[in-house]
């Protein structure tokens, strides 16, 4: 998969060089290109923002630099993602769907957002998704894009060493994950549940399913509907 991200703060994406994603990059399982939006300005001050028509607080991102940047990266296989608290909720199913794409472009806005014509223009050139991480406000799309990239990239075959852990984890079956324990069996007087020490794999599977159901019912009952 190829991923491009456009931002006025390219440094936010340095964390993608760490750990499993860093390894996946080094092994060419994913190609990630980060672009500084200011490189697509024409004026001496490298201006990317301006005041909104109609008035109101704050600054908006100007269309021109975004147009130049998108023209450079969009191909016939591109899905453009605009991270925004006003977007569709990002879920595990979203990650699974986007993990099948050949090319993703993350267009990361700051300030009060991007001139709407940039989104409309992108729609005329590529598939476009506006996606939110949840019901809270971040200062810009970068941190959200990094979270989405991690959730998507780890589903690409070869990125996670142990493919079984993908199948077993939280949300993969629509349930939260059951609790897990490792040695020692008694730690500070706290015992590991007996069944996990029993060696009875059918009983262990049943216990884990029950724990996952109980936890989901308690913490996220809406996932069971
Ligand atoms: Cl995707 N962007 C911003 N700026 N804030 C958010 C978000 C995205 N998701 C939740 N809050």
Query: Is the pLDDT confidence value at 112 over 90?
Result: no
Peptide bond into 184 cis (omega under 30): yes
Average pLDDT over residues 61-75: 98
Q: What is the pLDDT of residue 146?
A: 98
- Our answer on whether the CB atom of 65 is closer than 6 Å to any ligand 1 atom is no
- For the segment 174-201, what is each residue's pLDDT rounded down to a tens digit? 899 999 999 999 999 999 999 999 999 9
- Residue range 162-221, CATH number: 1.10.1270.20
- What does pTM read for this prediction? 0.95
CATH class as words, domain 1-160: alpha beta
- In the reported structure, the alpha carbon of residue 206 is separated from the centroid of ligand 1 by a whole-number distance in angstroms of 38
Quick: pLDDT tens for 27-44.
Answer: 999 999 999 999 999 999
Phi, psi at residue 198, to the nearest 5°? -80, -25
The pLDDT tens digits of the residues spanning 134-170 come to: 999 999 999 999 999 999 999 999 999 887 778 777 7
Return residue ranges of the chain for CATH 3.40.1280.10: 1-160
For CATH 1.10.1270.20, the residue range(s) in the chain are 162-221
Q: Residue 7 in contact with residue 141, Cβ under 8 Å?
A: yes
Question: Which atom of ligand 1 is closest in space to residue 145's alpha carbon?
Answer: 1
Q: Which ligand 1 atom lies nearest to the CA of residue 83?
A: 1
Lowest-confidence segment of 57-61, 105-109, 153-157, 158-162 by average pLDDT: 158-162
Q: Quickly state the pLDDT bin for 216 (edges 50, 70, 90).
A: very high
Phi first, then psi, for residue 129 (nearest 5°) are: -130, 135
Which of 137, 139, 140 to probe ligand 1 with, by most ligand atoms within 8 A of CB?
A: 137
pLDDT score for 165:
78
């Amino acid at each position: 998969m190829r991923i491009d991200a456009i931002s006025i703060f390219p440094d936010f994406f340095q964390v993608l060089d760490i750990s499993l994603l860093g390894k996946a990059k080094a092994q060419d399982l994913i190609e990630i290109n980060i672009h500084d939006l200011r490189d697509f300005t024409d004026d001496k001050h490298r201006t990317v923002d301006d005041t909104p028509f109609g008035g109101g607080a704050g600054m908006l991102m100007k269309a021109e630099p975004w147009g130049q940047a998108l023209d450079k990266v969009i191909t016939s296989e591109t899905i453009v993602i605009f991270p925004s608290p006003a977007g569709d909720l990002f879920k595990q199913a979203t990650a699974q769907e986007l993990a099948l794409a050949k090319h993703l472009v993350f267009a990361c806005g700051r300030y009060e957002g991007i001139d709407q014509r940039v989104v409309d223009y992108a729609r005329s050139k590529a598939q476009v998704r506006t996606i939110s991480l949840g019901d809270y406000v971040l200062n810009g799309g970068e941190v959200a894009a990094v979270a989405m990239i991690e959730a998507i990239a780890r589903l690409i075959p070869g990125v996670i060493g142990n493919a079984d852990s993908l199948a077993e984890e939280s949300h993969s079956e629509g349930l939260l994950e059951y609790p897990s324990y490792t040695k020692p069996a008694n730690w500070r007087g706290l015992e590991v549940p007996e069944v996990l020490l029993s060696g009875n794999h059918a009983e262990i599977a049943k216990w884990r399913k029950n724990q996952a159901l109980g936890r989901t019912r308690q913490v996220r009952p809406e996932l069971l509907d």
